Amino acid sequence: MKHLLDTGQRLFFPTARNVMIVPQLVEDLTLAPLPEGFPSGDPDTDWGRWEVNWMIAVPGDSIFSLCLREARVSAARALPADGDLYARLYPRAGGNALDCHMAIVILALAMYEAARRTGVEHLRRLRLSEARALLEPAVAEKLRGIYPSIWNMPGLSHLRVTDERRLQTADPQEWERWRKAAYDIITYVIDDISTHHYVPSPITPEDVSVHHQAANWLHDDLTWYAGERLAARPIP
């Protein structure tokens, strides 16, 4: 409600279904080049064929665009309800907008890599616990070297130049803040869904999937990440 008052909007009880309080960085939206030889951009590799199959299954949307949307919706769900995340990531509460943005990017990378490793055919079937496992301190560092591709934009990765630079140059303290924020966001979502049963039957934390969160949340067209060049429809 403080967000609505501060931004001059009509006052009502806010949830991620009706208001997006996640801060948006105003910066260069240029996408980074895909590193030469990186397998996501090569249709002759298993990685490249996996991305092509996603583009065939969901024409016009790359898998990473859907992961970005889901990660941002997760943050929008967690920030108003978790006081610690709100204080750390929401600027009007003294939080850090850059930390929030990078947590979303890192969470999207974790979802992307979890989907690739598990071979799910639709993002809805991805268990959020699979993505959270890749955000554990011992393994999360590997996410800094992942470059999702965009098949209708040869030679480009799906990461902004600014984000690639931050991922490559962040000091240990910065990286840990971003990693922990991403981990805490997805943990909140898993716990919230499994505790309150937003499904017809009980569900364990290990089995919470993108499907259980996808319905009835704000549509995100991805213009916040790369302008009008990319769009993401609701997760199919």
For 192-221, how does the pLDDT look when each residue is reduced to its tens digit (9 = 90+)? 888 876 556 778 899 898 887 765 555 666
What are the extents of the domains in the chain?
2-229
Pairing of strands 31-33, 156-160: antiparallel
Helix 97-118 with 172-196: angle, nearest 10 deg: 70
- Sign of the C-alpha dihedral computed for residues 68, 190, 47 and 146 taken in this order: positive
Query: Which CA distances in Å does 41 have to 145, 164, 166, 184?
Result: 14, 16, 22, 31
Give the per-residue pLDDT at 234. 47
Q: How far is CA 225 from the centre of its chain?
A: 11
Low-confidence ranges of the chain (pLDDT < 50): 1, 3-5, 9, 11-14, 232-236
Give the per-residue pLDDT at 116. 92
Give the per-residue pLDDT at 11. 42
For 127-138, how does the pLDDT look when each residue is reduced to its tens digit (9 = 90+)? 999 999 999 999
Give the per-residue pLDDT at 236. 45
Give the per-residue pLDDT at 65. 85
Q: Which pTM does this prediction carry?
A: 0.87
